[in-house]
Amino acid sequence: MKKHLILTCTCISLIQTLLAAPEFDRVFGSHMVIPRNKPIVFSGTAIPELPVKVTFSEKTLTITPNEKGEWSASFPAQKANATPQSVTVTQDGESVSLNDILIGEVWLASGQSNMKWSLSSTPSGKTSIPAADNNQLRIFNNVPQVDAYPGVYTQKDFDNLKEDAYFQGTWQVSSPQSAAPCSAVAYYFARDLQKKLNIPVGIIHTSMGGSEMAAWLPPSEIEATPEFAPLRGADWLESKFVAPWAREAAKVNLNNKTDVNHPFKPAYLFKTGISWMVNFPITGVLWYQGETDAEVNDNELHFLILTRLIKSWRTAFRQETLPFVMIQLPRINGGRPYWPEFREVQALAATHIPNVLTINTIDLGSTDGDIHPPEKIEVGKRTADLIATSIYNLPIEGKFPTLKKWTIKGEKAFISFDNAKGLTTIDKKAPVGFEIAGQDGIFKPSIAEIEKNDIISLTSPDVKKPVNIRYCWSTFVSPNLVNKVGLPVFQFRTNPHKMDSSLIKSVQPNAK
């Protein structure tokens, strides 16, 4: 009996040694920003079933962790606050604190390589990085530990692909050192938004180059959606849901292994890069992705995955109308024949799902075949401007001209736009990029003129009876048509792909 008691005490002592101090979940850290006007919930782990005290904002809560050692403490919501605060968790004489916590807005930036593109890799970074000191801007840059590089993965790579090891990062105050490796799009957006709101802003960046949408889907969504059956198990390496080049790259990396992790594996990036922060009430999502998926020309497939991704992330974060802001694919001069169709999918999602927005970058892409236009400052600015006016209702003209109405009168077509006040061209020449088609469905270049009330008229000597119109329907264009603040008109066609009505209905509010 005495030996048994000694053994029991030894086991308890060992457990308490292994869990000597309580811990916060990884989304929390010193120098963080906590979203304003929402309950403030801290969580973490500690010795199971032994009370912990959590102190924040001069209030202390006593919480008993569950049998797994998980604890959670909820404090009242606060308005934006630029005065640093601290939180301390104490259990059995051991404590841990997080310091320099601000209250403001926090956005999650995710996607593939154009979102991952670092500030240090942009031409404007030469002047932006030295000026990056900003105590009211905080950065949480999650860095993937393994890329889908050519060649066979080593054992070290497979070790780094463990789900709790793949993304590494911590909260940091914006400085030349913390901003340089961060996403340039995310940094410029957050910097500009912080100036507009004049409150603390935090940016959490989690991206992976080359990743397809399926890798960012929650596993539960893949299991629950019948159409996603080809993404389950090892079938993903042969699935049309994943671009051919991505499947082939993965096969080389894995070297015939099918039961191991890979950055492109369906649900992997959600599990490694998103799942651990879903209890954190982010303000919204910035999404810059599509280059990989657009390798395949399948609008309904892309619409299905994109809309399921948006809805499943909103479900995971428990915010039904969580703002989801997509950066539309830009132009590129060479290959990529299906980019116009993918841009249309992005626009359709924004049209049919509340609180989903798109950023028009068709004029900002490469003038060559580079899929990575290096300059990102204008992308960040446009994103901050659109969000400022659409989400925060600030008096900023950040909305892009979009097709409103079109009519045919004899040999002429007429188009009007929303958000097109002061419609003009940047080079003072006639608008370019318009095409019209007759009954034969063959589009011909058209002569465009800006008429009164910001209406565009179109004619073509090759089309006597216009039936349909399209604008900037190409992978590479040099558009010159902008509104009075210089924002370009969105690509469109008047005969868009007819999406399955059940897919459209599934993304409407209150759809089951």
pLDDT at 21 over 90: no
- Residues above pLDDT 90, as percent of the chain: 90
Confidence band (pLDDT; 50, 70, 90) for 2? very low
What pLDDT is stored for residue 277 in this prediction?
A: 98
pLDDT at 56 over 80: yes
Q: Same structural domain for residues 262 and 318?
A: yes
**Residues 396, 392, 82, CA angle at the centre, nearest 5°?**
110
Confidence band (pLDDT; 50, 70, 90) for 499? confident
Residue 503 lies in a domain: no
pLDDT at 457 over 90: yes
Instruction: Read off the pLDDT of residues 268-308 as tens digits, 9 standing for 90 and up.
Output: 999 999 999 999 999 999 999 999 999 999 999 999 999 99
What pLDDT is stored for residue 9 in this prediction?
A: 44
What pLDDT is stored for residue 20 in this prediction?
A: 64
Pairwise CA distance, residues 162 & 144, whole Å? 11
Nearest to 336 by CA among 477, 211, 237: 477
On whether the CB atoms of residues 503 and 307 are closer than 8 A, the answer is: yes
Instruction: Read off the pLDDT of residues 424-435 as tens digits, 9 standing for 90 and up.
Output: 999 999 999 999
The CATH number of the domain holding residue 70 is 2.60.40.10
Q: Same structural domain for residues 77 and 175?
A: no
Residue 5 lies in a domain: no
Structural domain including 407 reads 402-489
C-alpha pair distances (Å), 434 with each of 178, 329, 409, 413, 443: 44, 19, 17, 11, 9
Q: Same structural domain for residues 150 and 91?
A: no
pLDDT at 333 over 70: yes
**What is the amino acid identity at position 339?**
W
Q: Same structural domain for residues 204 and 316?
A: yes
- pTM here? 0.94
Average pLDDT in the chain: 93
Residue 231 lies in a domain: yes
Q: Same structural domain for residues 192 and 289?
A: yes
Instruction: Read off the pLDDT of residues 73-94 as tens digits, 9 standing for 90 and up.
Output: 999 999 999 999 999 999 999 9
Kindly give the pairing relationship between strand 94-111 and strand 33-35: parallel
Residue 360 lies in a domain: yes
What pLDDT is stored for residue 415 in this prediction?
A: 97
pLDDT at 500 over 90: no
Which two tokens mark 35?
A: 């979203």
The contacts of residue 18 (CB under 8 Å, 6+ apart) are none
Summarize the confidence of residues 53-57 as an average pLDDT.
97
Q: Same structural domain for residues 314 and 370?
A: yes
306 by Cβ neighbours in 10 Å (0-12 / 13-18 / 19+) ranks as buried
Q: Last residue of a domain, which of 346, 365, 390?
A: 390
pLDDT at 3 over 50: no
Domain tally for the chain?
Answer: 3
Nearest to 218 by CA among 262, 268, 284: 268
What pLDDT is stored for residue 18 in this prediction?
A: 52
pLDDT at 5 over 50: no
Residue 500 lies in a domain: no
The CATH number of the domain holding residue 155 is 3.40.50.1110
Tell me which H or E stretch contains 96: strand 94-111
Q: Same structural domain for residues 375 and 413?
A: no
pLDDT at 1 over 80: no
What pLDDT is stored for residue 10 in this prediction?
A: 43
**Core vs surface per residue 429-451: b (16+ CB within 10 A) or e:** eebbbbbbbbeeeebeebebebe
Q: Same structural domain for residues 411 and 380?
A: no
In 10 A of CB 252, how many CB atoms?
14
What pLDDT is stored for residue 12 in this prediction?
A: 47
Q: Same structural domain for residues 308 and 325?
A: yes
In 10 A of CB 153, how many CB atoms?
22
What pLDDT is stored for residue 511 in this prediction?
A: 55
In 10 A of CB 112, how many CB atoms?
25
On whether the CB atoms of residues 415 and 455 are closer than 8 A, the answer is: yes
What pLDDT is stored for residue 504 in this prediction?
A: 72
Instruction: Read off the pLDDT of residues 152-203 as tens digits, 9 standing for 90 and up.
Output: 999 999 999 999 999 999 999 999 999 999 999 999 999 999 999 999 999 9
Q: Last residue of a domain, which of 44, 76, 98?
A: 98
Q: Same structural domain for residues 317 and 443?
A: no
Pairwise CA distance, residues 351 & 74, whole Å? 36
pLDDT at 62 over 70: yes
Q: Same structural domain for residues 156 and 182?
A: yes
Confidence band (pLDDT; 50, 70, 90) for 509? low
Residue 397 lies in a domain: no
Pairwise CA distance, residues 291 & 294, whole Å? 5
On whether the CB atoms of residues 344 and 362 are closer than 8 A, the answer is: no
Confidence band (pLDDT; 50, 70, 90) for 149? confident
What pLDDT is stored for residue 208 in this prediction?
A: 97
Q: Last residue of a domain, which of 338, 361, 390?
A: 390
Pairwise CA distance, residues 234 & 400, whole Å? 42
Pairwise CA distance, residues 318 & 305, whole Å? 19
In 10 A of CB 256, how many CB atoms?
7
Alpha helices in 50-138 (DSSP H): 113-116, 125-128
Instruction: Read off the pLDDT of residues 395-443 as tens digits, 9 standing for 90 and up.
Output: 999 999 999 999 999 999 999 999 999 999 999 999 999 999 999 999 9
pLDDT at 334 over 70: yes
pLDDT at 6 over 50: no
On whether the CB atoms of residues 30 and 101 are closer than 8 A, the answer is: yes
Residue 50 lies in a domain: yes
Q: Same structural domain for residues 144 and 64?
A: no
Residue 477 lies in a domain: yes
pLDDT at 379 over 90: yes
On whether the CB atoms of residues 89 and 96 are closer than 8 A, the answer is: yes
